[in-house]
Amino acid sequence: MMGDNTLTDAVHWRFREDSNPYVRGLKVALVQMAVGSDKAKNVASAVKQIHRAKEAGAQLVALPECFNSPYGTKFFDEYAEEVPSGATSRALSKAAAETGVCVVGGSVPERFGNKLYNTCTVWDGSGKLLAQHRKVHLFDIRIPNKMTFRESEVLSPGDQITTFDLAGIKIGVCICYDLRFYEMLHLMAQEGCALIICPAAFNMTTGPRHWELLARSRANDLQLWMALVSPARDTTAAYVAWGHSMLVDPWGSVVGQLKESEGTLIHEVDVKVVEEVRNNIPVRTQRRTDLYETVKKFKK
Ligand SMILES: NC(=O)CCC(=O)C(=O)O
């Protein structure tokens, strides 16, 4: 659904018509920011948007994949920083502490020893590092005459599945291409996640085909909220992002979606809907694991 949830360079929000003050909901802000080649400017813009989202009532603010650097293998080494000692981590921690909101810091190229990762950091409202997710599935694809991309030429994959707790709500984190790997997200659902946040940067080839389809499929199959956060589209960039940051509810309905330009989508995530869908359509207890079991246990 587009239209009343779409806004350019401003913060927009919408409450559920049936919301009441006792609903255990979480107001999330998905910041579709413009990312350029000036790292300090990118970080300053993210910090500004975190403050604006807080003023608009957000309790959790999520940034896009690669928000401090242009997205591309030739940029990662130059823009990489250590976590949590690097300047970007410090800025996010400070912004979280100043605003008291949880910040899901999209992703940044992370340097760790002689390796580079595509890493999402999560900061609680006191500025403490709550979670760190290193992209598990690197974006290596080849679509003849369309696009070739090989993150694995410069990045190493993470080896952890990442979830965190916020005020009693369990939230999973995956980064972009991770979204295509159902088993990993299935494990997050089994662990009790009500929401999965996916900082991402789909492109002009796969974006129109798969972005909404994947978000809605995961939400429907796993019966949870899905939040996808993209950078704004920059047609002059080496890699052109699809945009269309969106929030999908556990029924698989798109409750809010941006277009391709800068903006922030603010919406309440009502965790009661997860319970409602899971009770109404109880597939979680109806699986025939005597016939199939494709998902192994959560590795602690
Ligand atoms: N940054 C990414 O992982 C891109 C993933 C993507 O575009 C896809 O189609 O999957």
Domains annotated for the chain, with CATH where assigned, are: 11-285 (3.60.110.10)
pLDDT, residue 293, reads: 83
pLDDT, residue 25, reads: 85
The torsion angles phi and psi of 178, rounded to 5 degrees, stand at: -55, -30
Q: Quick check: CB of 180 below 6 Å from ligand 1?
A: yes
Indicate if 174 belongs to the active site: no
Residues facing residue 148 across a β-bridge:
142
Ligand 1 centre and the CA of 241: distance in Å?
9
Indicate if 94 belongs to the active site: no
CA distance 224 to 11: 25
Q: What is the pLDDT of residues 132-181, one digit of tens each?
A: 999 999 999 999 999 999 999 999 999 999 999 998 999 999 999 999 99
Ligand 1 centre and the CA of 21: distance in Å?
38
The torsion angles phi and psi of 255, rounded to 5 degrees, stand at: -95, -15
Ligand 1 centre and the CA of 52: distance in Å?
28
Q: Whose CA is nearest to atom 5 of ligand 1?
A: 177
Identify the three-state secondary structure at position 37: coil
The structure tokens listed for 228 are: 């996808």
pLDDT, residue 298, reads: 60
Q: Pick from 150, 203, 214, 239 the residue to mutate for probing ligand 1's pocket: most ligand atoms within 8 Å of its CB.
A: 203
- Overall size of the chain counted in residues: 300
* Cα angle value 266/92/182 (rounded, 5°): 60
Q: Pick from 177, 182, 211, 218 the residue to mutate for probing ligand 1's pocket: most ligand atoms within 8 Å of its CB.
A: 177
pLDDT, residue 24, reads: 61
Q: For residue 3, how many C-alpha atoms fall within 13 Å in the half-sphere facing its CB?
A: 2
Indicate if 102 belongs to the active site: no
Q: What residues have CB less than 8 Å from 116, skipping those under 6 apart?
A: 76, 77, 80, 109, 110, 154, 155, 156
pLDDT, residue 226, reads: 98
Q: Quick check: CB of 203 below 6 Å from ligand 1?
A: yes
Instruction: Kindly indicate the confidence band of residue 2, based on its pLDDT and cuts at 50, 70 and 90.
Output: very low
Mean pLDDT of 66-79: 98
CA distance 229 to 99: 20
Q: What is the pLDDT of residues 78-137, one digit of tens each?
A: 999 999 999 999 999 999 999 999 999 999 999 999 999 999 999 999 999 999 999 999
pLDDT, residue 295, reads: 78
Using alpha carbons, select from 133, 47, 143, 134 the residue that is nearest to residue 98.
47
CA dihedral 275, 277, 281, 283 (to 10 degrees): -60
211 DSSP 8-state letter: H
